[in-house]
Amino acid sequence: MKRSLRHAIFCALTGLLWLSATACTPGGGNNDALLAAALPSGGSGGQACLESWPYSSGAYIADSSVNAAVDAGTFGDPTKATNKICGAGWASGGTDVYSTGSSSECESGENCIALEWTGKRVLDATGVDFVVYENPFLYNNNASSRFIEAVIVEVSQDGTNWCGWNPSYSGTTSAPDLRNPGNYSDLAGITPVLFMQSSANSLSASDLFTEVTDSYGNHLKGGGDGFDLSAPSFGTTGSGCNTTLRNSIRSSGFVYVRLTTAYSRNSSSFPIVSDSFDQKADIDGVVARSVTDR
Protein backbone atom coordinates (compact mmCIF):
# COMPACT_ATOMS: atom_id res chain seq x y z
CA MET A 1 0.00 0.00 0.00
CA LYS A 2 1.16 3.47 -0.77
CA ARG A 3 -0.93 6.03 1.07
CA SER A 4 0.66 8.00 3.91
CA LEU A 5 -2.30 7.71 6.30
CA ARG A 6 -2.60 3.97 5.79
CA HIS A 7 1.09 3.45 6.26
CA ALA A 8 1.20 5.60 9.38
CA ILE A 9 -1.59 3.48 10.90
CA PHE A 10 0.28 0.32 9.94
CA CYS A 11 3.39 1.61 11.70
CA ALA A 12 1.39 2.51 14.78
CA LEU A 13 -0.35 -0.86 14.89
CA THR A 14 2.92 -2.71 14.62
CA GLY A 15 4.78 -0.54 17.11
CA LEU A 16 7.00 1.05 14.46
CA LEU A 17 5.57 4.58 14.21
CA TRP A 18 8.32 7.19 14.04
CA LEU A 19 11.00 4.71 15.09
CA SER A 20 12.43 4.62 11.61
CA ALA A 21 12.38 7.49 9.12
CA THR A 22 12.75 4.98 6.31
CA ALA A 23 10.13 2.50 7.46
CA CYS A 24 7.42 5.09 8.13
CA THR A 25 7.43 7.21 5.03
CA PRO A 26 5.22 6.69 1.96
CA GLY A 27 6.28 3.54 0.19
CA GLY A 28 8.06 2.06 3.20
CA GLY A 29 5.91 -1.04 3.54
CA ASN A 30 2.34 -2.25 3.48
CA ASN A 31 -0.33 -4.43 5.00
CA ASP A 32 -3.57 -3.78 3.13
CA ALA A 33 -5.88 -6.04 5.13
CA LEU A 34 -4.71 -4.73 8.49
CA LEU A 35 -5.06 -1.11 7.48
CA ALA A 36 -8.45 -1.53 5.84
CA ALA A 37 -9.73 -3.02 9.07
CA ALA A 38 -8.30 -0.10 11.02
CA LEU A 39 -10.27 2.58 9.17
CA PRO A 40 -14.07 2.80 9.54
CA SER A 41 -16.07 2.12 6.37
CA GLY A 42 -13.38 3.34 4.03
CA GLY A 43 -13.10 6.61 5.89
CA SER A 44 -10.13 8.73 6.74
CA GLY A 45 -9.24 7.93 10.30
CA GLY A 46 -12.30 8.70 12.43
CA GLN A 47 -15.47 9.43 10.47
CA ALA A 48 -17.45 6.75 8.68
CA CYS A 49 -18.22 7.16 4.99
CA LEU A 50 -21.98 6.83 4.54
CA GLU A 51 -23.29 4.26 2.09
CA SER A 52 -26.17 6.33 0.75
CA TRP A 53 -25.54 8.80 -2.09
CA PRO A 54 -26.44 12.23 -0.64
CA TYR A 55 -27.86 13.93 -3.77
CA SER A 56 -31.15 13.27 -5.54
CA SER A 57 -30.22 15.53 -8.47
CA GLY A 58 -27.38 17.66 -9.79
CA ALA A 59 -24.66 15.08 -9.07
CA TYR A 60 -24.77 11.46 -10.25
CA ILE A 61 -22.23 8.81 -9.32
CA ALA A 62 -21.14 6.20 -11.87
CA ASP A 63 -22.69 3.13 -10.29
CA SER A 64 -21.48 0.20 -12.40
CA SER A 65 -18.22 -1.14 -13.81
CA VAL A 66 -17.81 -2.96 -17.11
CA ASN A 67 -15.83 -6.23 -17.17
CA ALA A 68 -13.58 -4.95 -14.41
CA ALA A 69 -10.67 -7.10 -13.28
CA VAL A 70 -11.11 -8.49 -9.77
CA ASP A 71 -7.93 -9.02 -7.77
CA ALA A 72 -7.43 -10.84 -4.51
CA GLY A 73 -6.06 -7.86 -2.58
CA THR A 74 -8.03 -5.45 -0.43
CA PHE A 75 -8.01 -2.89 -3.24
CA GLY A 76 -8.92 -5.30 -6.03
CA ASP A 77 -12.69 -4.97 -5.56
CA PRO A 78 -14.14 -2.86 -8.44
CA THR A 79 -17.26 -2.00 -6.44
CA LYS A 80 -15.02 0.35 -4.47
CA ALA A 81 -14.95 2.55 -7.60
CA THR A 82 -18.75 2.74 -7.84
CA ASN A 83 -20.20 2.57 -4.34
CA LYS A 84 -19.38 5.98 -2.78
CA ILE A 85 -16.87 8.82 -2.59
CA CYS A 86 -14.78 8.69 0.57
CA GLY A 87 -12.13 11.38 0.35
CA ALA A 88 -9.58 11.73 3.13
CA GLY A 89 -8.67 15.37 2.50
CA TRP A 90 -5.48 17.08 1.42
CA ALA A 91 -3.00 15.17 3.55
CA SER A 92 -4.10 11.55 3.20
CA GLY A 93 -5.47 8.96 0.83
CA GLY A 94 -8.69 7.07 1.50
CA THR A 95 -9.21 3.32 1.61
CA ASP A 96 -12.50 2.92 -0.29
CA VAL A 97 -10.67 2.68 -3.62
CA TYR A 98 -10.02 0.27 -6.48
CA SER A 99 -6.55 -0.28 -7.90
CA THR A 100 -6.93 -0.48 -11.68
CA GLY A 101 -6.49 -3.93 -13.22
CA SER A 102 -6.00 -5.53 -16.64
CA SER A 103 -9.64 -5.48 -17.75
CA SER A 104 -10.75 -6.54 -21.21
CA GLU A 105 -11.91 -2.93 -21.62
CA CYS A 106 -8.30 -1.72 -21.47
CA GLU A 107 -5.90 -1.29 -24.33
CA SER A 108 -3.36 -4.12 -24.53
CA GLY A 109 -1.04 -4.26 -21.54
CA GLU A 110 -2.75 -1.43 -19.68
CA ASN A 111 -4.43 -1.11 -16.29
CA CYS A 112 -7.84 0.52 -16.33
CA ILE A 113 -11.45 0.43 -15.26
CA ALA A 114 -14.49 1.37 -17.38
CA LEU A 115 -17.54 2.75 -15.55
CA GLU A 116 -21.09 3.68 -16.50
CA TRP A 117 -24.26 5.20 -15.09
CA THR A 118 -26.90 2.45 -15.20
CA GLY A 119 -29.53 3.30 -17.81
CA LYS A 120 -28.17 6.83 -18.15
CA ARG A 121 -26.17 8.94 -20.57
CA VAL A 122 -23.91 11.78 -19.38
CA LEU A 123 -24.60 15.09 -21.11
CA ASP A 124 -22.49 18.11 -21.94
CA ALA A 125 -23.46 20.80 -19.44
CA THR A 126 -22.02 24.24 -18.70
CA GLY A 127 -18.50 24.02 -17.30
CA VAL A 128 -17.21 20.82 -15.70
CA ASP A 129 -19.26 17.83 -16.86
CA PHE A 130 -17.84 15.16 -14.56
CA VAL A 131 -15.26 14.78 -11.82
CA VAL A 132 -12.83 11.90 -11.42
CA TYR A 133 -11.85 11.09 -7.85
CA GLU A 134 -8.57 9.22 -7.56
CA ASN A 135 -6.40 9.20 -4.45
CA PRO A 136 -3.52 11.72 -4.45
CA PHE A 137 -2.37 13.57 -1.33
CA LEU A 138 0.06 16.28 -0.29
CA TYR A 139 3.67 15.28 0.16
CA ASN A 140 5.15 16.63 3.43
CA ASN A 141 2.08 18.89 3.73
CA ASN A 142 3.33 20.96 0.79
CA ALA A 143 0.51 22.22 -1.45
CA SER A 144 2.78 22.19 -4.50
CA SER A 145 4.13 18.68 -3.87
CA ARG A 146 1.86 15.65 -4.09
CA PHE A 147 1.87 11.88 -4.35
CA ILE A 148 0.51 11.43 -7.88
CA GLU A 149 -0.50 8.39 -9.93
CA ALA A 150 -1.86 10.06 -13.06
CA VAL A 151 -4.92 8.77 -14.90
CA ILE A 152 -5.86 9.09 -18.59
CA VAL A 153 -9.58 9.78 -18.99
CA GLU A 154 -11.62 8.79 -22.05
CA VAL A 155 -15.34 8.54 -22.80
CA SER A 156 -17.37 6.43 -25.22
CA GLN A 157 -20.87 5.93 -26.56
CA ASP A 158 -20.42 2.29 -27.53
CA GLY A 159 -17.54 0.97 -25.39
CA THR A 160 -15.41 0.47 -28.48
CA ASN A 161 -14.48 3.92 -29.77
CA TRP A 162 -13.03 6.30 -27.19
CA CYS A 163 -12.43 10.04 -27.17
CA GLY A 164 -10.10 11.73 -24.70
CA TRP A 165 -8.51 15.06 -23.99
CA ASN A 166 -4.80 15.86 -24.43
CA PRO A 167 -3.06 14.27 -21.43
CA SER A 168 0.53 15.36 -20.93
CA TYR A 169 3.34 15.44 -18.39
CA SER A 170 5.98 18.14 -18.86
CA GLY A 171 8.47 17.33 -16.10
CA THR A 172 11.48 15.06 -15.72
CA THR A 173 11.74 11.76 -13.84
CA SER A 174 13.04 13.54 -10.73
CA ALA A 175 10.91 13.16 -7.59
CA PRO A 176 10.26 16.92 -7.23
CA ASP A 177 8.98 17.11 -10.81
CA LEU A 178 6.83 14.00 -10.46
CA ARG A 179 5.23 15.49 -7.34
CA ASN A 180 4.58 18.88 -8.91
CA PRO A 181 0.89 19.10 -9.98
CA GLY A 182 1.76 21.92 -12.37
CA ASN A 183 3.53 19.41 -14.64
CA TYR A 184 0.30 17.55 -15.43
CA SER A 185 -2.52 18.58 -17.74
CA ASP A 186 -5.74 16.87 -18.89
CA LEU A 187 -5.12 14.05 -16.43
CA ALA A 188 -6.93 12.81 -13.33
CA GLY A 189 -5.28 11.74 -10.10
CA ILE A 190 -3.79 15.19 -9.54
CA THR A 191 -6.06 16.82 -6.94
CA PRO A 192 -6.78 15.20 -3.55
CA VAL A 193 -10.34 14.10 -2.78
CA LEU A 194 -11.95 16.52 -0.32
CA PHE A 195 -15.54 15.30 -0.68
CA MET A 196 -16.61 12.54 1.68
CA GLN A 197 -20.09 11.10 2.14
CA SER A 198 -20.58 11.68 5.84
CA SER A 199 -23.01 13.27 8.26
CA ALA A 200 -20.70 16.29 8.32
CA ASN A 201 -20.80 16.86 4.54
CA SER A 202 -21.80 20.45 3.80
CA LEU A 203 -21.22 20.46 0.05
CA SER A 204 -24.17 20.86 -2.28
CA ALA A 205 -24.37 19.00 -5.58
CA SER A 206 -23.36 22.12 -7.50
CA ASP A 207 -20.40 22.64 -5.13
CA LEU A 208 -18.79 19.49 -6.53
CA PHE A 209 -18.46 21.24 -9.91
CA THR A 210 -17.54 24.69 -8.56
CA GLU A 211 -13.97 25.96 -8.50
CA VAL A 212 -12.43 27.93 -5.65
CA THR A 213 -9.03 29.48 -5.09
CA ASP A 214 -7.31 29.31 -1.71
CA SER A 215 -3.90 28.53 -0.23
CA TYR A 216 -3.92 25.19 -2.08
CA GLY A 217 -4.43 26.91 -5.43
CA ASN A 218 -7.36 26.60 -7.84
CA HIS A 219 -9.45 23.46 -7.32
CA LEU A 220 -12.99 22.12 -7.15
CA LYS A 221 -14.67 22.50 -3.76
CA GLY A 222 -14.89 18.73 -3.37
CA GLY A 223 -11.48 18.09 -4.86
CA GLY A 224 -10.92 15.62 -7.67
CA ASP A 225 -10.25 16.52 -11.29
CA GLY A 226 -12.93 17.93 -13.57
CA PHE A 227 -13.40 17.26 -17.29
CA ASP A 228 -15.37 19.36 -19.78
CA LEU A 229 -16.70 17.96 -23.06
CA SER A 230 -16.65 21.48 -24.50
CA ALA A 231 -12.93 21.94 -23.81
CA PRO A 232 -10.87 22.58 -26.99
CA SER A 233 -8.64 19.62 -26.14
CA PHE A 234 -11.52 17.14 -26.03
CA GLY A 235 -11.54 14.76 -28.99
CA THR A 236 -7.86 15.25 -29.79
CA THR A 237 -6.93 11.75 -28.59
CA GLY A 238 -8.53 8.34 -28.28
CA SER A 239 -8.82 5.03 -30.10
CA GLY A 240 -11.43 5.44 -32.82
CA CYS A 241 -12.04 9.10 -32.06
CA ASN A 242 -12.71 11.52 -34.88
CA THR A 243 -14.48 14.84 -35.36
CA THR A 244 -17.82 13.15 -36.02
CA LEU A 245 -17.69 11.12 -32.83
CA ARG A 246 -16.48 14.08 -30.79
CA ASN A 247 -19.39 16.19 -31.99
CA SER A 248 -21.85 13.37 -31.36
CA ILE A 249 -20.64 13.04 -27.76
CA ARG A 250 -20.96 16.76 -27.26
CA SER A 251 -24.48 16.85 -28.65
CA SER A 252 -25.95 13.63 -27.25
CA GLY A 253 -23.63 12.59 -24.44
CA PHE A 254 -21.65 9.47 -23.56
CA VAL A 255 -22.29 6.18 -21.77
CA TYR A 256 -18.90 4.96 -20.57
CA VAL A 257 -15.85 6.53 -18.98
CA ARG A 258 -12.53 4.69 -19.01
CA LEU A 259 -9.84 5.47 -16.46
CA THR A 260 -6.37 4.20 -17.37
CA THR A 261 -3.22 4.40 -15.28
CA ALA A 262 -1.14 6.72 -17.47
CA TYR A 263 2.10 4.91 -16.62
CA SER A 264 0.66 1.64 -18.01
CA ARG A 265 -0.07 3.30 -21.35
CA ASN A 266 3.31 4.94 -21.82
CA SER A 267 5.87 4.72 -19.03
CA SER A 268 8.21 7.15 -20.81
CA SER A 269 5.64 9.87 -21.38
CA PHE A 270 4.02 9.36 -17.98
CA PRO A 271 6.66 8.28 -15.44
CA ILE A 272 5.50 7.51 -11.93
CA VAL A 273 6.92 8.11 -8.47
CA SER A 274 9.22 5.41 -7.12
CA ASP A 275 7.15 5.00 -3.95
CA SER A 276 4.09 3.88 -5.91
CA PHE A 277 3.69 0.38 -4.50
CA ASP A 278 2.06 -1.27 -7.53
CA GLN A 279 2.23 1.42 -10.26
CA LYS A 280 -1.58 1.46 -10.46
CA ALA A 281 -3.98 4.33 -9.96
CA ASP A 282 -6.56 3.99 -7.18
CA ILE A 283 -10.08 5.02 -8.20
CA ASP A 284 -12.60 6.33 -5.66
CA GLY A 285 -15.33 7.14 -8.18
CA VAL A 286 -16.69 9.45 -10.89
CA VAL A 287 -19.53 11.94 -10.54
CA ALA A 288 -21.43 13.54 -13.46
CA ARG A 289 -23.29 16.83 -13.47
CA SER A 290 -26.13 16.10 -15.91
CA VAL A 291 -27.60 12.81 -17.14
CA THR A 292 -30.57 11.65 -19.15
CA ASP A 293 -32.23 8.28 -19.70
CA ARG A 294 -30.84 6.21 -22.57
pLDDT at 5 over 50: no
Entry pTM: 0.87
Distance (Å, whole) CA 287 – CA 289 = 7
Query: Mean pLDDT throughout 32-50?
Result: 51
What are 204-261's pLDDT values in tens digits?
999 999 999 999 999 999 999 999 999 999 999 999 999 999 999 999 999 999 999 9
Distance (Å, whole) CA 87 – CA 135 = 8
What per-residue confidence (pLDDT) applies to 284? 98
Phi/psi at 221 (5° precision): -60, -35
* pLDDT-derived band at 35, boundaries 50, 70, 90: very low
Q: What are the E-state strand segments in the chain?
A: 60-61, 64-65, 98-99, 112-116, 120-122, 130-133, 137-139, 142-147, 151-156, 163-164, 168-169, 184-185, 211-214, 217-220, 225-227, 256-261, 282-283, 285-288, 291-293
Return the percentage of the chain with pLDDT > 90, whole number.
82
